Structure formats: C-alpha cells, structure tokens
C-alpha cells in the first residue's frame, strides 16, 4: 500500500510503498477514506529534532482519520466489516487514572502506551495511507447516519479540539455572556460553530483576513473585528465595559494573547488553543481578578461521539479542500503558505471515488 512517511526530523515526507498491516488481537484495520492535513504536521516536519519528543521517525503522517472497518483482530466485537468509522487520535495506555476516565490525551503512563504522548500519525503510523492499523477497538467510533468519512476525518481534531475547550468553560457561557474567538481558521471556524450549537453566548470573532471575517459572520458571529490596537477596547465597549467571559485563542501569538488578557472579564477564562509560540505574562495585576489561564490538548472519545452527532445533525461542518494521496505534499505546501480555506483533507484515490 501507499503511505506518506516522515523518515527523519526536519525533512519532507515521502510517498512510499509499505506492506499492508495485519490486525492482531484487539486491533482494527481501517481502510482510510480521508485523513486531515494539520498545521501541527508542519511542526513535525520542520521544527523538531531528536530528543525533543518522546518518539522519533519513521512513521506515517495523518492524525485526523476516518474510513471503513476492513478487518478486525481476535476478540474485537461491536464492529462490522465495511462500517464507516472515525478514529480517536490519542492512544493512551488505557489503564491509568486519566485513561480510565476517558482522558487518553493526558495519559500518565507513557511507558504503557503504544507510543508515549502520541498516536497514529504522531509517533506511530497514521492515516495518510491506504490502510491504518488501530491498536485498540476503543479508538474506533462508528459514524452516525448521514455523515460521510471525508467530512468526518477533519472533525477528529479540528472540531474535537475546540469542542473540548468550549465544554471546559460551558458554565460561563450562558445567556448574557460573551465569548471571543481569536482566529477563524481551520480550528476557529469550527470553534465558532461549537459555541453556536452548545451555548446562548454572544460571539465576537477576531481575524485579520477578509475571507475569515465574512465566514465568521456567515456562521453566526454577533460582532466581527479586525485585530489591532483598538480590538480589546471595542470588545469591552460591546460588553458594557465588562469584557468577555471566555476568550478562545486559536492563534496563540504574543499579540493575540495580549489581546485576550486585555479584553477578558474578571472571573473569565482565557483558553490557549493555538500553538504559535507566544507567551502571556501572568502576575497578580497582570490579568483581571480570578481570570483562569489554561491550555487544552485535543479531546477524548466521549467528546468525539458528541462532535460526530452534531455533525450528523448538520450543526457542525468543516470547510475542506480535497487532495488525492499523491498530492499530499501539495496540501502541506498550501498549508505552509496560507492557501487553504478551512481544512486540507487527503484521500486515497480509490476511496475518493467511493
């Protein structure tokens, strides 16, 4: 089969022929229908060196995956061959306290996990291939009726990540509240939809691109702003001087974090989702009283089930650009240069026509 392999750090991936995996006990082999190309893959290719992560190449890229059950290993029940499924991306040990609570993104026993701190496409072979071997059936989620695999794949990260972030702050997002979405890109446009689906909050969207601001307005944002020196004051003005109850920063630069701190309300939340490398100085007088500053990473299986349910009901949809597997490098090049609207999704040719 074909697979897009990252063979060493600071290199471009290569499309190679590799053997089709065979599932062992408890494992599931998925015929890949679609795999999302994520900005975090660019970090894997270009920024990391040996020893920086708890795993090393070679491995196949692709941590946003959906397809069809192809074969199952001994002991697997509840899945049928040909069944459309999405794949949970984070593969923990399954036994530590966090994994037992369904929080495999925060596995505390990396020595027992299939790969420390990662999963398919992150240290182990991912879905930019014709087939994906999933090490445990619990990481496979059946798709609801009406949701196609090509639409489901990017939701496993690009929707699940903001969904987890929003759920963490749901108690602060009732009627009369305000949420700010900074960056209406691949994750942000889905975060905005999650806010609309789950809450009654007023939504302020901030983005420097004309197309993204138009999209934010179309998706239901109540106020759409360009970033700049007056952005925080305009948000405070729109909230009667109080500020935003929740700020979701899908960029994470110095500038966006400074805006978040300047526009958040007392007792509010600043959630850093984007990994642009910015920092936010926190001191007693540096942010309003009792503001919580938090980072979040991905989401869990139970939340993915909820995300897919929302998508199956038409309440979540990722804007996508489709690339055949042999053009996956072009997808990453377009991501690098900002030419992708929404999410880039790579499909093997045979499944694309399915």
pLDDT digits (tens, 9 = 90+) for 99-122: 999 999 999 998 999 998 899 999
Portions of the chain given CATH number 3.40.50.720: 159-295
Whether pLDDT at 342 is above 90: no
In this predicted structure, what is the pLDDT of residue 296? Answer: 95
In this predicted structure, what is the pLDDT of residue 293? Answer: 97
2-154+318-352 carries CATH number 3.40.50.1110:
no
Q: How many CB atoms lie within 10 A of CB 214?
A: 13
φ, ψ for residue 241, nearest 5 deg = 90, -5
- Helix and strand numbers (H, E) in the chain are 11, 18
φ, ψ for residue 41, nearest 5 deg = -65, -35
| 159-295: CATH number | 3.40.50.720
287-335 pLDDT, tens digit each: 999 999 999 999 999 999 999 999 999 999 999 999 999 999 999 999 9
Rg (alpha carbons) of the chain, rounded to whole number: 20
37-80 pLDDT, tens digit each: 998 999 999 999 999 999 999 999 999 999 999 999 999 999 99
- Read off the pTM: 0.95
Give the DSSP H/E element, type plus range, for residue 142: strand 140-142
In this predicted structure, what is the pLDDT of residue 341? Answer: 83
Smallest CA-to-CA distance from 33 within 5, 70, 61 is with 70
Return the SS3 of 199: coil
190-245 pLDDT, tens digit each: 999 999 999 999 999 999 999 999 999 999 999 999 999 999 999 999 999 999 99
Angle CA 76–78–83, to nearest 5: 105
118-173 pLDDT, tens digit each: 999 999 999 999 999 999 999 999 999 999 999 999 999 999 999 999 999 999 99
The number of angstroms, rounded, from the C-alpha of 273 to the middle of its chain's C-alpha atoms is 9
Portions of the chain given CATH number 3.90.180.10: 2-154+318-352
| Terminal Cα distance for the chain, rounded | 18
For all residues of the chain together, what is the average pLDDT? 95
In this predicted structure, what is the pLDDT of residue 171? Answer: 97
Smallest CA-to-CA distance from 193 within 176, 172, 179 is with 179
Is 98 in contact with 307 (CB distance < 8 Å)?
Answer: no
């Amino acid at each position: 089969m074909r697979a897009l392999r990252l063979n060493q750090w600071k290199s471009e991936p290569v499309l190679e022929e590799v053997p089709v995996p065979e599932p062992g006990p408890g494992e599931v082999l998925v015929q890949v229908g679609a795999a999302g190309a994520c900005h975090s893959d660019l970090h894997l290719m270009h920024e990391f060196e040996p020893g920086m992560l708890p795993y090393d190449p070679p491995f196949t890229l692709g941590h946003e995956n959906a397809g069809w059950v192809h074969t199952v290993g001994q002991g697997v029940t509840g899945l049928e061959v040909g069944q459309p499924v999405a794949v949970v991306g984070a593969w923990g040990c399954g036994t530590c306290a966090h994994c037992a609570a369904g929080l495999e993104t925060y596995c505390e026993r990396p020595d027992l996990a299939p790969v420390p701190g990662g999963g398919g496409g992150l240290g182990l072979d991912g879905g930019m291939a014709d087939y994906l071997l999933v090490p445990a059936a619990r990481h496979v989620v059946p798709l609801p009726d009406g949701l196609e695999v090509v639409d489901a794949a990017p939701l496993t990260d690009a929707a699940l990540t903001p969904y987890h972030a929003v759920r963490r702050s749901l108690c602060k997002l009732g009627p009369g509240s305000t949420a700010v979405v900074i960056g209406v890109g691949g994750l942000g446009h889905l975060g905005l939809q999650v806010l609309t689906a789950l809450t009654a909050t007023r939504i302020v969207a901030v983005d420097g691109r004309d197309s993204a601001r138009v999209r934010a307005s179309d998706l239901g944002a109540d106020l759409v702003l360009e970033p700049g020196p007056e952005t925080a004051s305009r948000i405070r003005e729109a909230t009667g001087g109080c500020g935003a109850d929740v700020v979701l920063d899908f960029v994470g630069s110095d500038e966006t974090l400074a805006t978040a701190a300047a526009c958040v309300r007392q007792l509010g939340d600043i959630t850093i989702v984007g990994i642009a490398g910015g920092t936010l100085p926190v001191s007693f007088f540096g942010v309003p009283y009792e503001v919580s500053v938090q980072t979040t990473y991905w989401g869990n299986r139970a939340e993915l089930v909820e995300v897919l349910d929302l998508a199956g009901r038409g309440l979540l949809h990722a804007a996508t650009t489709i690339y055949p597997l042999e053009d996956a490098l072009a997808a990453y090049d377009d991501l690098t240069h900002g030419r992708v609207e929404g999410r880039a999704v790579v499909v093997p040719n045979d499944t694309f026509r399915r």
